[in-house]
Structure formats: structure tokens, C-alpha cells
Amino acid sequence: MISISLMPTDRACASLGRSLDRPRCHSCALLLLRLEAREGWIRSRGCCGSWPEHRSRRPYGFRWDTLCSRWCLITSHKLYSSVYDPNEKTFEKLLIANRGEIACRVIKTCKKMGIKTVAIHSDVDANAVHVKMADEAVCVGPAPTSKSYLNMDAIMEVIRKTRAQAVHPGYGFLSENKEFARRLASEGVTFIGPDTHAIQAMGDKIESKLLAKNAKVNTIPGFDGVVKDADEAVRIAREIGYPVMIKASAGGGGKGMRIAWDDEETREGFRFSSQEAASSFGDDRLLIEKFIDNPRHIEIQVLADKHGNALWLNERECSIQRRNQKVVEEAPSTFLDPETRKAMGEQAVALVKAVKYSSAGTVEFLVDSSKNFYFLEMNTRLQVEHPVTECITGLDLVQEMIRVAKGYPLRHKQADIPINGWAVECRVYAEDPYKSFGLPSIGKLSQYQEPLHVPNVRVDSGIQQGSDISIYYDPMISKLITYGSNRAEALKRMEEALDNYVIRGVAHNISLLREVIIHPRFVQGDISTKFLPEVYPDGFKGHKLTDLERRQLLATAASLYVAQQLRSQRFLGTPRIPIAKSKRSSWELSVHLGDGIYPVAVSKHGSSFFVEVDGMKLNVTSEWNLASPLLSVTIDGTQRTIQRISRNASGETSIQFLGTVYKLQILTKVAAELSKYMPEKAAEDTSSILRSPMPGTVVAVSVKPGDMVSEGQEICVIEAMKMQNSMIAAKTGKVKAVHCKAGDTVGEEDLLVELE
């Protein structure tokens, strides 16, 4: 009877694998609750003493802040087990120089620590969740970030006015801005993060690499300079170890890059690259560097105080990325063995000590297929994906950051840092995954419901039903974190959580996330930073239904249709008796799904439907609550959570099934038969019109009516969510009309330019 979802301590006990006296643990939980009112220390023998932190300090005592226990019980943050000591002096008031989920995340911990909070917001965020959560909120400017969240003058003014003693910058915005940290310091306000020196050192790519090298951290081995001849190139390549990458130093990015796997290829690469270096750039220098094949992106969370103590809090695997942005993260990594983990952790700590780092930070590594790891960069802030580390270590990183900033030493030793179970995080974005793995979408969240009823789910979000996803800020809706005693359990929960997540009004990437976490390669842990382009070379197309799944979908859709039809005939308290001649119990339907039309026969038996599709009989049972956004359906014993996104009188229905939204049209057999005779509506000729693929701002229009454009020529540029997108002509022709001008705000599918 251990209630894992509610009591973090139980979870900690269970996952540490200590032999648990079940009733005792349960009674301990009861005891905790009962004693809450007395606000005292709570001692519970045996089971809770297993928590590492207490093992080190008070072998058999357990200390539990009353506020914390209550908070943990009622919020989504049930996955930390940190201790909040009400007697430890801390800041009185803290300003959060950020917005969205990270601002909410920081406020939650501040509340637990008893710190008053000040939120800053822009005009459009006046009703945002972080504004409501904070004790005080001050507007710092209009919507564009440069005028609000990056507006240092305004923020400094707010700090003076509200007398905040410390500032938590979150991530992004001013979090790694040394100027901001300097200005805070000059006014005697504590910056919750490392000092300016560390920010500066780690912010510079060359300097950080140099520092890392000196601290004996593995960096990508390479040679940059004039190579005399092919033999020398081979010698250098052998020193580095194959495979190597050869290119002209002056060439930017991947231009003219050649990969060599042996001596022969090195000679060839040298020949081409040195020629290119001389002819194209007039610069003989070559760069020979270790080529990291199929790299993984694995990072180490570090935590250091101002007294020279530093810890590594294990790794996070962040290889699933699109356009260099992480999508799915997990901790620990399937790939690392304890030795590699330890080596990486120790090098990370060495780097931290070398720069006299304090606060939480992240050291990013590239790891190749043979577990060689190389330093990439260090992020001197709280990372987006910090919750997975919190889940497996039980630490509240925000609390630790605040404590460190206040000058307290760390409470933990390296040996105390556990890996409890497995945590996975999916970044839920308001974007259309079918367009290059995610193009931003904006709009109002007309319906929004987080899957918090699923056990061991944590959702970090800064929005609620009715919130706007605007073009001004990052389109992240939330971070969905699931926890399990092992990876399979965490992934299973993630599947369930994604199915139970209701997001309406904006496009979202749930379908992509769900596909990634059930993909066999991901499940096996065979991932790299190229996972998405490798698995979906032609772009993401949604879940591909198996025959059985298709039948399940058709049966569910048909049953829903019949349930709706039956309900629409049930009137309450009608004065007249219906004069239908017979009570219907079977329906012949025709369901249009994708390119196929499927005949489906439905018959009703009590509360369940028997559905015949493709010659197979399926039994579909549900409560058929047609108003609920989530519908739990049991199809021949298989439970599925589906969402009916929309329906209309014409039989068109969209159903979210296995994460992907399928469009169906359900008609009676006769209507389907007759619909063949309906006229085809002429589709719009899309080659001569240009529509905005997403909402955004027009940055530039490079044509005017009457201009001739050739196919592929840039017509205008649209900026959305910090991305500039070039709109090109789909055919050669004369511009007939231009419907936008620079500076306009356009919506998705808005007409931009017409060609003749």
C-alpha cells in the first residue's frame, strides 16, 4: 500500500531498493500528515532514514518541512525530496528576471523556502501565470523582448523599487549576461548564478576550450596551422586518431570539409583541402580535427558553492534534437557506464574548480560511439532540462542555487548523490511537427489540461487554459517529465501522459514526441544528434497505423459516431412521443480515412458496440462521455485514451489516436454512396499564390506588383519566434499583387503575394 505518487519519501525508499516494511512505511506517511499541524520535526524510524541526505547528517532522523509536505502533496512537483529548512536564513525577496515556465518553477521553490517573489512582465504577459503566482509583479515594457525582458534599465529600476535582494535569471534572456551580473553586483543585489568571471570565461568559446584543456578536460583533439605535405598530414591524423576531419581553416562551418578514415583518405583530403585553402581563401592553414562519428549530446549537471566544493549530479542525455534544439531528454543516459560517468563527472568538476565556479551549471560533452567524450561548452545557468536531474537525485536545484548564492556550503557529498530510477522529459512545443520537425504556431489555448492524474508525472508549465502563445516568445507550452523505477516504466508513463495531455487551439508536437519515445531505436537507446533526420528522412508524417491500429481507430470513430447519433435522439421531458417505427440497433457506415474508404457495421449491445471492420469483429466499450476532452476506450480488451478534437454535422471528425490526429469522415452507407455524385470543388492553384506558412512578422518584401520573378526567387521574409524564413516563388511569373508590407503581422495561411 505504498502510495508512490503522493509521497516522495516513499518513492525514495522504494527506489533505493531498501527492504521496506510496507505497513510501517505507510504508517510513516500517515504520521507525517498527522503531525503536520504541530510544525515540528518528524522522526520516523527505518524507512525514511534511507534518504541519503539524512544518512549523512542524522542517521535515523527525518526532517520534514510542513509547508513542503503540503506543497508536494498538492502540486505537480511531487518529484523532489529536498528539505526546506525554515530556520535557515535566506533572502527575503527575490526577483525573477524571466517569464513562462521557468519563472513559475523558481517561484514555486521560493514559496517553499518562504521567500517573497517579484515577477517582471511585458504588456502582453500582464495576465500570465507567473505574474499571478508571484507576490508582486511589475511591467517592464512592451512585448518585444529587447524592450522588456532584456531591458536592463527597467529591470534595475524594478529591483530598486521593490527592494529585491536577489535576482534569479532563469535561462535565456539575461541569464548569461555578464553586464547584468555586474550591474547587480554594483548595486549590492545578489545574482543567483556564477560570478561574472565564470560567465565571461565560459561564454567565450576559445577561452573556455583553453581553460578546459588546462584543467585536463578532454577537448576535441586537433591541429590548426600550415601542414607541409601529405606525410605530415598523415602523421597528425594518426596522432589524433581516425576518423579525422580535414578542412581549410579559413572556410567557415562545414564548407569543404572532408572526412578521412585512414591514411589514404587523409592524403586525398590533404590534397583537396590545401588546394582549396590556397585558391579560395589565399590562406594555407589547414584544420585537422577528430571527427566525431554519430555523436551523442550528453551533459553533466554540476553544482558548486563559494567554498570550493563542487559536485557532479550525473548526466543528462539530450541527443534528440531538431535544429540544434533539444526535444527529448533523459537521465541517466542508456549509453554511459559507471566508469565513463565518473570520468565525465570528475572532469566536469575539475573544470568547475578551475574557473572557481559557484551555483548550478552544465558541462556539455559530445560522446562518440566508443564512449570517448569531448568537452563542448559550459552553460553557466539552470538548464531547461534540469527536472530530469532533480527527479533522479531528489535535489531541488533552484533551492541549491539560492542557498549557494546566499553563501551556504553544499549540504551533500559526492557519495550522497544517487541515481534513483529513470526520468524522461519531453518538451511540448506549440509548433507543427509536420513542417521541418516543428514550425511555430500561435493562438489561444482554448482547452488545456495537463496529465497530472497520471502517476509520477511532473509538468513544468507557465500557461493555462486561455493563455496566448504569441509570436514574441519561445513557443514552448510545457516540459512534461515522467519518472519510473526504470527506463521502460518512465517511457510507458510518458506514452500515457502524452495521450492524456489536452492541448487545443494551437498546433503541438505531441505526435512527434510520442513517435520518438516508442521508436525501436530510441527504446534501445540507439540515438544520436542526427536521430530525427535519420529516422524521418522525408520529414515527420505522423504515426503510421498498423492494420490492427487502423481497425481500432475505425471502430472507435464509428462507435463514437453512433453514440452521438443515439444521444441526439434522446430528449428529456418532451411532451410528445417519438413516432419512429423501430428502435435502431445496427448501423451501416462508411468511414473515410486517409486515402481509403472502409465499410463499417456497428451494432449496439448494452453499453458496448460490436464493430465489424475489414471482416474482423471488435468490441468497443467506453463511458461515451461526449463532452470530456479525453475518452478512455477499451477495444477488445486494449485500453486506449483518445481525444476527439472536433466533429461537425457533415460527419467530419478529427481524432487524436496514438498521439497523431487523424481526419476521418463518417457517413451512413447511403450518404457515402451518394456523395460520389457530388461535384468536386476545384482546388486553389497554389503555385501562383504565396501564403504565410506560419504566423509572424513580415521583415522584408523584395518584390512589387509587375515584377518578374523566377522560380525559387525570394519574395519576402517572415520572422517568427526568432526565426527568419525566406518565402520563395513556386513558379516563374509576373507579380500580380502584393498583400503585405514590411512590418505587417501575418497569420498562418494569410495571402502574401499573388503571381499571374
Partner 1 sequence: MICCTDGCACTLENCLGGDDIRSLDCGYTAARALAVCAAYSPHIPAHSLLKGSRFASSVRKRAVKRAQCLFIGGGTESGKLTARERILLLLDPDSFDEYDMFVEHRCTDFGMDSSKNKDFTVFGGSLSGAHAQKICKIMDQAAMVGAPVIGLNDSGGARIQEGVESLAGYADIFLRNVLCSGVVPQISLIMGPCAGGAVYSPALTDFTFMVKDTSYLFITGPDVVKSVTNEDVTQEQLGGAKTHTAVSGVAHRAFENDIDALLNLREFFNYLPLSNRDPAPVCECHDPSDRPVPELDTIVPSESAKAYDMLDIIHSIVDEREFFEIMPSYARNIVVGFARMNGRSVGIVGNQPKVASGCLDINSSVKGARFVRFCDAFNIPLITFVDVPGFLPGTAQEYGGIIRHGAKLLFAFAEATVPKITVITRKAYGGAYDVMSSKHLRGDVNYAWPTAEVAVMGAKGAVQIIFRGKEANAEEEYVDKFANPFPAAVRGFVDDIIQPSTTRTRICHDLDVLASKSQSSPWKKHANIPL
- Which residue, 373 or 624, has its beta carbon nearer to partner 1? 624
CB of 430 to partner 1, least distance (A): 16
Quick one: which segment of 359-367, 405-413, 422-430, 443-451 binds partner 1 (CB under 8 A)?
Answer: 443-451
Quick one: which segment of 204-212, 241-249, 397-405, 570-578 binds partner 1 (CB under 8 A)?
Answer: 570-578
- Which residue, 651 or 696, has its beta carbon nearer to partner 1? 651
- Which residue, 557 or 667, has its beta carbon nearer to partner 1? 667
Q: Which residue has the cell 549523512?
A: 56
Instruction: Indicate whether 569 belongs to the interface with partner 1 (CB under 8 A).
Output: yes
Exactly one of 568, 606, 615, 637 binds partner 1 (CB under 8 A); that residue is 568
Quick one: which segment of 42-50, 106-114, 562-570, 727-735 binds partner 1 (CB under 8 A)?
Answer: 562-570
Instruction: Give me the sign of the Cα torsion angle 99, 101, 103, 107.
Output: positive
Exactly one of 1, 37, 206, 580 binds partner 1 (CB under 8 A); that residue is 580
CA distance 681 to 72: 57
CA distance 63 to 31: 13
Amino acid occupying residue 507: A
Exactly one of 1, 37, 206, 579 binds partner 1 (CB under 8 A); that residue is 579
> Do residues 449 and 631 touch, judged by C-beta distance below 8 A?
no
Exactly one of 573, 596, 606, 615 binds partner 1 (CB under 8 A); that residue is 573
Apex 628 CA angle, 600 and 516, nearest 5: 75
CA distance 208 to 534: 31
> Do residues 448 and 469 touch, judged by C-beta distance below 8 A?
no
Exactly one of 628, 687, 710, 724 binds partner 1 (CB under 8 A); that residue is 628
- Which residue, 674 or 723, has its beta carbon nearer to partner 1? 674
Q: Which residue has the cell 517569464?
A: 99
Three-state DSSP class for residue 118: strand
**Active-site residue 377, yes or no?**
yes
> Do residues 378 and 200 touch, judged by C-beta distance below 8 A?
no
CA distance 387 to 138: 28
CB of 121 to partner 1, least distance (A): 12
Exactly one of 584, 663, 704, 736 binds partner 1 (CB under 8 A); that residue is 584
Instruction: Give me the sign of the Cα torsion angle 647, 649, 652, 658.
Output: positive
CA distance 549 to 250: 54
CB of 125 to partner 1, least distance (A): 11
Instruction: Indicate whether 445 belongs to the interface with partner 1 (CB under 8 A).
Output: yes
Which 241-280 residues touch partner 1, going by CB under 8 A? none
Burial of 579 (0-12, 13-18, 19+ CB in 10 A): exposed
Question: Which residues, including other chains, have CB under 8 Å from residue 694's CB and lie 6 or more apart?
Answer: 432, 435, 439, 440, 441, 718, 720, 725, 748
- Which residue, 59 or 573, has its beta carbon nearer to partner 1? 573
- Which residue, 244 or 471, has its beta carbon nearer to partner 1? 471
- Which residue, 146 or 574, has its beta carbon nearer to partner 1? 574
Beta strands, E only, 172-293: 190-191, 222-225, 244-248, 258-260, 286-290
3-state SS of 582-641 is: CCCCEEEEEEEECCEEEEEEEEEECCEEEEEECCEEEEEEECCCCCCCCEEEEECCEEEE
Quick one: which segment of 168-176, 196-204, 307-315, 646-654 binds partner 1 (CB under 8 A)?
Answer: 646-654
Exactly one of 637, 649, 684, 686 binds partner 1 (CB under 8 A); that residue is 649
CB of 678 to partner 1, least distance (A): 4
Residue count at the site for partner 1 (CB under 8 A)? Answer: 45
Q: Per-residue string for binding with partner 1, 453-492, x by CB under 8 A?
A: -----------xxxx-------------------------
Q: Per-residue string for binding with partner 1, 651-690, x by CB under 8 A?
A: x---------------xx-xx-xxx-xxx-x---------
CB of 627 to partner 1, least distance (A): 4
Q: How far, CA to CA in Å, does 241 sit from each of 220, 233, 265, 365?
A: 11, 12, 13, 18
CA distance 65 to 431: 40
> Do residues 695 and 442 touch, judged by C-beta distance below 8 A?
yes
Beta strands, E only, 76-135: 93-96, 116-122
- Which residue, 467 or 482, has its beta carbon nearer to partner 1? 467
- Which residue, 11 or 647, has its beta carbon nearer to partner 1? 647
Which residue(s) pair with 289 in the sheet?
Answer: 222, 245
List the catalytic residue out of 36, 232, 346, 377: 377
Exactly one of 1, 572, 684, 686 binds partner 1 (CB under 8 A); that residue is 572
Beta strands, E only, 22-165: 93-96, 116-122, 136-141
- Which residue, 362 or 665, has its beta carbon nearer to partner 1? 665
> Do residues 154 and 178 touch, judged by C-beta distance below 8 A?
no
Instruction: Indicate whether 712 belongs to the interface with partner 1 (CB under 8 A).
Output: no
Exactly one of 275, 607, 625, 638 binds partner 1 (CB under 8 A); that residue is 625
CB of 654 to partner 1, least distance (A): 13
CA distance 658 to 510: 10
CB of 151 to partner 1, least distance (A): 20
CA distance 361 to 738: 49
CB of 142 to partner 1, least distance (A): 12
Exactly one of 571, 595, 637, 683 binds partner 1 (CB under 8 A); that residue is 571
Amino acid occupying residue 184: L
Which among 653, 644, 329 has a CA at the least distance from the CA of 502?
644
Q: Which residue has the cell 515577477?
A: 119
CB of 448 to partner 1, least distance (A): 8
Quick one: which segment of 389-397, 626-634, 653-661, 685-693 binds partner 1 (CB under 8 A)?
Answer: 626-634
Instruction: Indicate whether 370 belongs to the interface with partner 1 (CB under 8 A).
Output: no
- Which residue, 237 or 589, has its beta carbon nearer to partner 1? 589
Q: Per-residue string for binding with partner 1, 122-161, x by CB under 8 A?
A: ----xx----------------------------------
Instruction: Kindly report the length of the chain.
Output: 756
CA distance 255 to 248: 8
> Do residues 9 and 43 touch, judged by C-beta distance below 8 A?
no
Three-state DSSP class for residue 663: strand
Which residues lie near partner 1 (CB under 8 A)? 126-127, 444-446, 464-467, 567-582, 584, 625-628, 648-651, 667-668, 670-671, 673-675, 677-679, 681
**Which are the catalytic amino acids?**
377
